[in-house]
Chain A
Amino acid sequence: MLFISCKQAYNPPIITSPGSYLVVEGVVNNGNDSTIIKLNYTVNLTNKIASSPVLNAIVSVQDDQNISYSLTGTTSGKYFITNLNLDNSRKYRLSIKTINNKQYYSDYVPVLNSPPIDSIYLSVSNNTVNVNSTAHDPTNKVQYYRWDFNETWIIHAAYFSYFKSNGITVLPRDLINDNIYQCWLSDTSSTIVLNSTSKFKQALLTNNIVTSFPLNSEKVANKYSILLRQYALSADAYSFWINLKKNTEKLGGIFDPQPSQINGNIHCETNPAEAVIGYISVGNVAIKRIFIDKQQLPFSIPNLPYSDCMIDTLLYRYFAPGAKIPVNQVNEFINYNNGATTIKIPIVAIQQPGGPILGYTASSPFCVDCTVRGSNKQPLFWK
């Protein structure tokens, strides 16, 4: 049956949303770490930009004994506060008042702290690398978890460049300060990672897969690091997140459920019928980082994006077949201020031993300059 089933792009008729809805994202951090709440409005599906920040709102964290902590707004719709140091025995909510005088509250929720991440390790099965984590809650209080993460890894360009053009002429490259061979690439999690121990006999989370990629991925071609953040969830919060995940990640199979409405714990006081998206939890966040060298994983030939890379030979005096007048290919392709249009970056010099430089081998920036894809500044945490 499968060869006759097919998945195609589908663009529904343009649907104009009847309005825009408030979207609240963030965790109230009860400890010293900063609490960052992002406020946005939904946008129409046809909009190029996915977020429309809510500016100049009055945002505060309130406890059930009328103590309030105000958050400071930024121009990107983020509202923050540090060092909240909340009382773990009280319940808290978020209050939002927008400039059009709409008042929103989240439900009062108790503080739920995440147990620490016990370990993070990589495992390989079927040529897939799984990033696993383990955790346990000795108090048996936390049964639901959510994770997000930042991944960072070293990439190399296809070719090591010893030369550089200043636009007019080609000079030797400063290999210390102008390295374009090794860069760092980063990514953040884009899927909602959830798990629960409620089905297990102990509040012990083993072999929890946070993310996976192929063994020949560029991520583990050199060195890889992941920073994992672990959040504890209540049963109610878990159902919000799993519902959100089901709606946007888990659809498409024949047996998958239909989309359903998303209900968070935030309500509009001014207009109770208005939908508000988001769930506010209160608690600390467990954080852990690991590094993995490629030697720690089984050998695999990395699948690099350089299969189209080719080295050209570019000469100062190039005679095309049958031509009487030579062409300066170095100016034509490398020296971008001397008329080069399809820019190439020089790799090594072409010369007879002891003779003058006749030209350079060169390739496209994508193949030579890793800063096209990443940053050549080592991140502060890297070791």
Chain B
Amino acid sequence: MRKRAYIISFYFLLLYQVVLAQQNNAVLISVNFQQTKVAQFVSELEAKSNYHFFYDPVKMDSLMVTLQVENKPIEFILEMAFKNTDYHFAISNQFIFLTKGRQIKTELPPGFAEIQKNNQLEKQANIVSDYTEEKDKKVLEATTENKIYEIGLKTNPIKPGNAILSGYVRNIKTGEAVVGASIYVASTKNGVATDQFGYFAISLPRGRHTLIIRALGMRDTRRQILFYADGKINIELTEQVNSLKEVKISADKVANVRSVELGVTRLDIKNIKQIPTAFGEADVLKVVLTLPGVTSVGEATTGFNVRGGAADENLILLDGATIYNPAHFFGFFAAFNPDLVKDIELYKSSIPEKFGGRLSSVLDITNREGNKKNFTGSAGIGLLTSRFNIEGPIIKDKTSFIFGARTTYSDWLLSALPEAYKHSSATFNDFNLDLSHQINDKNNIYLSSYLSNDQFRLNSDTTYAYSNRSIALKWKHNFNNKLYSVVTGGIDRYQYDISSKADPLTAYDLAFNINQTNFKADFNYYLTNKHTINFGLSSILYKINPGSFEPSGNQSLILSQIISPEQALESALYLGDKFDISPNFTLSAGIRYNIYNYLGAQTVDNYAPNLPKSQVNVLDSTTYKGGQIINTFAAPDIRISARYILGENLSIKAGYNTLHQYIHLLSNTTSISPTDVYKLSDPNIKPESSDQISMGIFKNAASNTIEMSVEIYYKRLNNYLDYKSGAVLLLNQHIERDVINTEGKAYGAEFLLKKTAGKLNGWLSYTYSRTLLRQNDPNAGELINGGSYYPANFDKPHSFNFTGNYKFTHRYSVSVDVAYSTGRPITLPIAKYEYGGSERVFYSDRNEYRIPDYFRSDFSLNIEGNHRVHQRTHNSWTIGVYNLTGRQNAYSTFFTEQSGVISGYKLSIFAAPIPFINYNIRF
């Protein structure tokens, strides 16, 4: 308290230049004010006491006091009179000072004597302003566009030079942080975007400025400030309610050109909801697939490939928690509740230093914070799924929760099918519960939790089940305007279970799980207006149970088989700097140093050098104790990107980055299936690494409503894992004997044309890309295709996407989605022969041929209910057709023997136009 008093006293010092000591005076007064103006209020109190009042009549003229008290001290009366108002009082000796908007403290700070040595007013102001960093000082809530907000300690004249302005941008309705809002300062032409907490800090010359604030789905606004010294301003934005003309796709229209990053796309849920999907429910991952540089191996898979990377090379984060299987129901639905997702960010090239551990991309999915002001919710009903969410304040304006749930009732559909599928069943559900709490102005905590479950049986006696579980606690702390930190701790788990109980003698239970415990501390330091520093550390402890195969029931003859668990610690330290060299030239450079320890307990086989890793080449094996470090891989990741602005709406960017990956998905099939195995790097399986160089040209046109970009990249892959012929991946204690390390290269060009405003909006993308692999080490076992380059499974050279939305009126809009891509490579039969009583085929070189090209078009009509803002519920309908042309796209082709004859087949999923309808309600 003492400290606080001393800090605030500077106001007094500066404004009045008097030094007074506080004194108690115990005169008791009775008053009865009814709508009393300040003059009368003051004169009555002066009459009843021996105090003298000082105030500015102009500032105080709107004061009206209604108060009736008996025999109270004057402090109490004043306190009651000004309670919950912007008026303050200060008592010193016989003097009472009334102020508006600012309180006067009448006590001297300790150390004042030293300060006084500097007689220069400005210098004092400067020092003083640093002391104003006190905890409970009210941050200016700037709500009006036309008012001039004074920030920092007022000085006259305004000092030259820069100071730092910081604060939060929030949604006025829900109190939720607005992420990626751009704050643009027109006079200096510089700008900043809010981070994931809605926080921003910007260095500005002192003086008068207009801030232009733009954010996704929010109405553009501006704030006028008179900037004296370091200070804070909180800005609340109004949501755009069904705007007719403007649907923004990018948070900042100029961000496309001005940001340093390449290959970064941010989409908010409104864009995601415009894209038609198979069952009418907005799907986060399907939208990602429409972006340039992103492809998938086929429909019904939510595994996606970014710039020539395998599906496991994407780090998928949901509020910071790693999600290992992002799909439900064989991949027909993304595992993320579209009613909770706020926005997604996909990093393809410039991956921030704080992320690591995967080679290709980071998909960062952010859920909304619960509404801090009112209870609201929504519900949706579709053909196969229903969803529900509710949110609201626990403590108004401070603490909120959001809860979402989804479930399916698809069994009715399966039971309506022909006999062959009748005994199938499939269920899934997912739950999110997030809490956010504002401790005070400097500290926020966020708790997020996620659970998803899937279970299905495909007309056999085998039941598959899998589940993702995560919980994370995040603490954000602002040290001062320049420095803040985010500390995150969490646990993520992914597990699956396969069981068969039909035959008691062979009944089994197969289980797999992966657990990771994360700790992360990220710091953001706004050093000067030229340097923004990011640094931090992270550590992940992996524990994998790679498979247990156990008898089920007493009669089972199955021999229990448990692959020994694995442990590893992946740690990283990072440091990055965004350096604005000149207004046009910005460089972002960073380093992330990875340290990976493979830990015991484990028995590791030692293979003879330069011989294939096979049973016959095992020299001996070493057994390590629990927690013992078996081996360590350490390597730096380099992340560099630069931007140079050529013209107002034109920039070029270039980037180089390296990445390392220590956890590998082993999958022998074309899509990610829930039975795939994750393997940690160990002495026999080297970490995968890649480096990428990319360049891009970015141009905006037609008042930033059209964005164009061209990006090219070249990427090298090292120790990419491919499989030997007929590899066994599940329940394999010696997985290194069935995999081979390959080297690869990926390159491509991505073209994007985006229209962000108007009745028609959407984007058009074309990508040319290749991914080639090679295994030419004869010592590694078999040579694939004689050691020459072969296309990876997901190599699709040409890919074209169009996603568009046209609004006819406020209530009606149509969305169209068109996708074309080259067919995926396939190993085709090239000859036939008889063997084992049947005709069989001889296959070509690996991935020598391709399946037919892929083409699909979807259509949906979105009907909003009426647009009165104040009504109990808002509802909307989505009606549409998926795969409008009914093209039977090949998911895969295969050759199989029936009655001794080889026939070729093409498997199509979604082979006919699929109509869908969805009803949503918001309350």
Contacts and interface: CB of A to CB of B under 8 A. Distances in A.
Partners in one complex: yes
Given A20-B831, A50-B833, A191-B897, A9 B903 contact: yes
Contacts of B832: 42-45, 47, 50
B286 to A, nearest CB: 15
A195 to B, nearest CB: 11
Nearest to B848: A15
A191 B893 contact: no
B894 A252 contact: yes
A188 interface: yes
A6 B908 contact: yes
A192 interface: yes
Interface string A172-205: 0000000000000000111110000001111010
B897 A249 contact: yes
B732 to A, nearest CB: 12
Contacts of A307: none
A277 interface: yes
B726 A242 contact: yes
Query: From DSSP, what is the main secondary structure of chain B's interface residues?
Result: mixed
Interface majority SS on A: helix, strand, loop or mixed? loop
A243 B725 contact: yes
Interface stretch (A58-66, A254-262, A321-329, A359-367): A254-262
A138 interface: no
Nearest to B298: A254
In this complex, the member of A1, A20, A188, A199 whose beta carbon has the largest number of chain B beta carbons within 10 angstroms is A1
Interface string B359-370: 000000000000
A202, A255, A275: most-surrounded residue (chain B CB, <10 A): A255
A8 B907 CA distance: 6
B906 A8 contact: yes
Interface string B834-846: 1111111111101
B596 interface: no
Given A17-B842, A273-B786, A12 B904 contact: yes
Nearest to B464: A255
Contacts of B893: 10, 12
* Centre residue among A12, A207, A246, A256 by max chain B CB count within 10 A: A12
A256 B669 CA distance: 6
A7 B909 CA distance: 9
B871 to A, nearest CB: 37
A140 interface: no
Interface of B: 300, 329-330, 332, 413-414, 417, 421, 424, 503, 505-506, 549, 557-559, 561, 668-671, 673, 675, 723-727, 782, 786, 793, 826-844, 846, 849, 888, 890-891, 893-897, 899-900, 902-912, 914
A18 interface: yes
B907 A7 contact: yes
Contacts of B727: 260
20 contacts: A2-B414, A5-B907, A10-B905, A11-B904, A12-B828, A12-B849, A25-B835, A43-B831, A43-B833, A189-B837, A200-B558, A207-B506, A248-B838, A248-B841, A248-B897, A249-B896, A254-B891, A258-B670, A258-B826, A258-B827
Nearest to A239: B726
A98 to B, nearest CB: 16
Contact of B726 (A18, A243, A256): A243
A162 B723 CA distance: 66
B843 A261 contact: yes
A250 to B, nearest CB: 8
A42 B842 contact: yes
Nearest to B783: A273
Given A12-B893, A50-B832, A263-B782, A1 B905 contact: no
B670 A248 contact: no
Interface string A145-185: 00010000000000000000000000000000000000000
Nearest to A209: B503
Contacts of A247: 840-841, 843
Given A2-B424, A190-B899, A251-B896, 15 more contacts: A1-B330, A4-B909, A5-B891, A7-B907, A9-B905, A16-B830, A23-B833, A25-B835, A43-B831, A191-B838, A247-B841, A249-B897, A258-B669, A263-B725, A277-B833
B582 to A, nearest CB: 53
Nearest to B725: A260
Contact of B904 (A5, A9, A200, A273): A9
B129 to A, nearest CB: 63
A121 interface: no
A40 interface: yes
A115 interface: no
Closest 8 pairs between A and B when the two form their complex, measured CB to CB: A10-B906, A260-B725, A243-B726, A42-B831, A251-B894, A17-B831, A190-B838, A257-B668
A206 interface: yes
A299 interface: no
Contacts of A204: 557
Interface string A255-282: 1111111110000000001010110000
